Structure 1
């Protein structure tokens, strides 16, 4: 009959494109069509016929009678929800008349659903299966709980919703379990939590325990029907899905949480249950990773999915608890709020820790410190995996593929550094000097690994100088982080040497940082040697190219000693070519005419002597001047400045 599937699918289809009023109008049309099919519809202008109770025999003959009852109950529920939605935005709130009208509609729907459940309980006459009977009882309890919720009768509301939760929890193990799980998480559990809060029930009690306690007053026949399907459902606490290794929540949930030597009390049941699930998944992860089977990095990373989901549930539960206290007007100085803030930091730090651990196993062995270009990341056969792990098989990859693999590592390192930055921003971390320094050292450790990966890509591309600079920076980061990470131990590790090793998380051990330091020291020496070899090769190429046609011959370089030896093939330029040669400037020739030398008075060699001879011939009787008189005459004349006598 699929009662729950019919109800859920009808609501989803109607609310996908409309609201509850649209759903109500659709149900009215379906009801009329159903009555016409059963030939019980009131004809036009005909006499009204009162509604007759549906018998089990009618349902056995035609399932349309079952559909008729469900549509009638759903129409009443849709009418109530449409009125509630229409008055939810009123500033004055919902009036008493409107609330009573909503309650009357929900009561009508609950009565129709209860009559249907009672009719189907006669399985011999109705032909209903035990699952159909339980679904009808759960639907009736759901509508009755909604009516009690609007009446604000919290005890009755808890009982009704507890019946629905136990039944849907029992049926959630079937093939249609997703539908029942959605009803539990979206409708029933929030209503039970709010009703329990109004009923002054402590929050330390989880929802399954509350539902189990309220279900003890249920009908004995209903209890027997549930036990016939799943005898252990009432023992596990409130109709939860029972796993093979599951532990009842009431017994396994922790009551305290320890964070950085501070122990706080867990007062919220959802946080306690989520934190217990984190501890359980941690042990499972340790067992899976410590098993003897060889796992590829992708398979190891997939093993972290469950613990990440449980950690996120703990974070969400803590946030919801803080929001509830804020809505109640609780101040930050309240002890409950202070405990929740510490819990919030602890669960967020745990979530970030496992995210970093997942990135570390994806990067590879030793956090990607050693190159693994020969190992393929895709899934292989078992023999191939064993050969790769043993190191007996190594296939060189192309340089482009190697650089692409290094880029993938750099992306994972960036994600890890972002997670570490988020961890430093958690409340209370900045005030914890020891934790803050350890997080900074961890960030320096992954920064060194990132620089190492980038330097390897430069080395593959042939940029040895850039690779050396990055290696030097990485070694500096590693040296700065070495004292901090070598002196701190994991807070969660016990002193027992036989304890199982913890999976990869945010903790960087002393062996990890020491291994990276030794590796970077060797890589620095190697990079220096490569750069030196590259420099020597460059200088040797330059010297080998020295006797080229463009270099000067030896005859032109006689003023300098040939340090590299004499090139006997480049003594002179051959064949000779026209070249500029140094010559005496022309102004020296001009100045030569104005220079008087001793002994040139008789012969006359300059313009001054020629001028004096010409003047003597022209004057005839002019007495020649003595040497002293000539000197006085020349001293009286104004002196010329410049080379050619042009004064300035």
Structure 2
């Protein structure tokens, strides 16, 4: 079975937790010494890694006998003394200890350059043995290439100290190439699981080491050795920096706010998206979905949002890095896309409900819900930078919808107060000012909608045109009510449901001017009307036929007597 030893992950953990970020090399030097002592005392390897005579066969009686460390049974065949990972970690931390001691000596004011160089050479020597030992321990390919990258990095440090810039440049470049190749070949999983998170964490460690630690040293050496480098050393930088690669254009792509996201990496989410893709494309104000289709689409969108948030939650605990940050950004964009589509579906369904309602209170309630929905869509697109938002077409479209819905809501709110008979006094002057504000909103909404490039722009503009006509009618109505209030001495009369033609002689300011639909008004009939009716039907229509017809259509069977004394009573 192949060993899987993560060299750079252990290196990152050891250095970041023991003084290296603060340049406390003495602390890291002491840590490496203690770590070596712990590694060598493991039962399986202490016979080969400890100098103590008590653990070595054949010299147990010799108290002060020196026992050399052994890593191979035979130096020629390179067979390890025991198949244990501590053999590799022993060499690794010896290299790290020598490097930490060199850095500690260099930071001291009394350091001697030759002493520092010897310790770096020692570190490079130990590091050069790691790839060979990794192969002997039957480690996997990733471990071997990590060991080669680490050895090249240590060799570059030693060459840089002795000012051999060409050799240092080649070593650093080789180390960075190996790490970037590991990142590229690591690949991405189709499932969001623990293995995928471990891969992303490893990718970030390798990428950070290559770009933040090794690349600056490589560029410095390239500058210093620019006159001595061969043409083969000056390869294209883009060939080295190709990491995780670009996303395939032939896969399932999700477009949201000028950003393309490949869903091929998320198998479950891609299946959900394919189910609802056709419905989302045909989603507009003119399309009509039945209740079952709407509930299915809404349920699919809700499942997609929950899946994305669950996947995003799994990456919150991971340390920041290029790969983890890119995955988080992708999942955040995917979650925003599905939430936006979910709000859009719900909003369009609510707007179609308005056409089936007659009561101003019910319509106002729907527009309250629509306003909250539109504001949530706008907040979803808002990045907090107002200057950038002015160039975002989707954000401008969402803002136009907010203004449009506010205009409709204000109009129906005015209609509700105008027609209500509640104890709250509504002054015509204030209502007229509110109507004027609604008119400004409608005008602004028309301009914003016309400036946006959306599918249903004609439908929205037609609705706004109708709204402006209604606002003009409401303005005339409120001006008439205001005039009646002024002529009545400024006193507000009680609210009434009677239209204006029924209170012509009353100086009040009731808000209802016209009855719609017209109220039925009973008019008393006169004998001349019946004479005209008799002449119209011919004048000689048999009375018995009329009576039979009346009796046949009388529901209670008592219509004959009432008819004689009523409508046709004068015939008798």
TM-score, normalised by the number of residues in structure 1: 0.44
TM-score, normalised by the number of residues in structure 2: 0.49
Larger Rg: 1
